[in-house]
Amino acid sequence: MIIGIPRGRQDSEFRVGLIPAGVKLLVEAGHSCYVEHQAGLGSGYTDYAYQLAGGTIAYNGDEVYGRSDLILTISCPTRQEFQWMRENQILIGFLSLAATNPENMLDLIQKNITAIGYEIIQDEEGHLPVLMSASQAAGRMVPQIAAMLLQNNYGGKGILLGGVPGVPPAEVVILGAGTVGKAAARTFIGTGATVYVLDQDLKRLQYLDDHFQGRVITMVSHDFNLEKMCKFADVLVGAVLVPGARSPIIVDRDIVRSMRPRSIIIDISIDQGGCFETSRPTTHTNPTYIEEGIIHYCVPNMTSVLGRTATQAMNNAFWPYIQKISEQGLDDAIQNDTSLAHGVYMLRGEIVNPVMKDLFDSRRSAG
């Protein structure tokens, strides 16, 4: 099998689809790896490190896509990369196809591409093992972003997350008690902020209450509670996930309008479309905008600027699946591993993920 590792082309994408250690294992198993020039630089891996591992350096993305049977990426490819893909390739990465350009989906279908999304690989217990690694990094990153945006020089209220003696800390409200919400709550608590977590799942809230020994205030995410908490939040974090589908909008414009001016919204769900009516994707180059007097941070590839940490964490999580595909072949790997089978959006141009199929059919009917 010929494996291609392209350079990230999304804004501020410093992560890489496979580290040199993975390349070494694949080459030793008899496979070939083409690594685009400087693909690993943002994660601290030089071209020379990949060459020592047995990889071949390609000097443009077109060559990587043109030579490879299997493409390992991190974030969803750009429009140009979708056009570079060739017939019957396998594409693996955090694809978030529910939020992608419909033209990209048509390219995948017409070229008989097999598309596997790390974000929907799911084990028998319902856990998302690869997404979990990215979510943990994103959640722990949120407080440092919030702390910065609360500063006056970034347009914020001039509030210190943890306060000081005689001055109360910031009020942080997290919507969603999953992996991101838990990781964010943990780090916010460490700063001294007052933390509230809302979720519809009472079991998750009970778990968080036990885990944090009462240091997090938990509430069921009824409309009344949601409206009440948003009104006084200094920082409002959206961490709502429906695997493989667009995130539901749970905070409408009227609620955003009721928030205190210069408060912060951080929409981590923006990868899947966002959970605030006022959300729209931003970039690390221009990460924020003001809507209804509220500062919005809606960067889809949030952990892309944690090149080293995020790359290593994700490689730890997804390597077993890459190894199975390379050793067993695509069909046997999917058949023998139900977790991997859950991650298949599309098999040789046919949409097999039920949620994605319904979404694509509805878009096609509407347009």
CATH 2.60.120.260 for domain 2-126+306-366:
no
Confidence of residue 274 (pLDDT cuts 50, 70, 90): very high
Confidence of residue 359 (pLDDT cuts 50, 70, 90): confident
296-318 per-position pLDDT tens digit: 999 988 999 999 999 999 999 99
For residue 160, pLDDT beyond 70: yes
84-128 per-position pLDDT tens digit: 999 999 999 999 887 778 888 889 999 999 999 999 999 988 889
* For the chain, domain boundaries: 2-126+306-366, 132-303
pLDDT at 366: 65
CATH 3.40.640.10 for domain 132-303:
no
Buried/exposed 189-212: b ≥16 CB within 10 Å, e otherwise: bebebbbbbbbeeeebbeebbeeb
**HSE-CB for 55 with a 13 A CA cutoff:** 34
Confidence of residue 286 (pLDDT cuts 50, 70, 90): very high
Q: What angle do CA 295, 300, 301 make, to 5 degrees?
A: 125
317-327 per-position pLDDT tens digit: 999 999 999 99
- Tell me the mean pLDDT in the region 159-163: 97
pLDDT at 354: 87
- Tell me the mean pLDDT in the region 22-46: 97
Q: Please give the single-letter amino acid code of residue 155.
A: G
Are 299 and 280 contacting, i.e. CB atoms less than 8 angstroms apart?
no
- Can you read off the two tokens belonging to residue 353? 């993920």
Strand, coil or helix: 261? coil
- Can you read off the two tokens belonging to residue 339? 């977790």
What Rg do the C-alpha atoms of the chain give, in angstroms? 21
Are 333 and 303 contacting, i.e. CB atoms less than 8 angstroms apart?
no
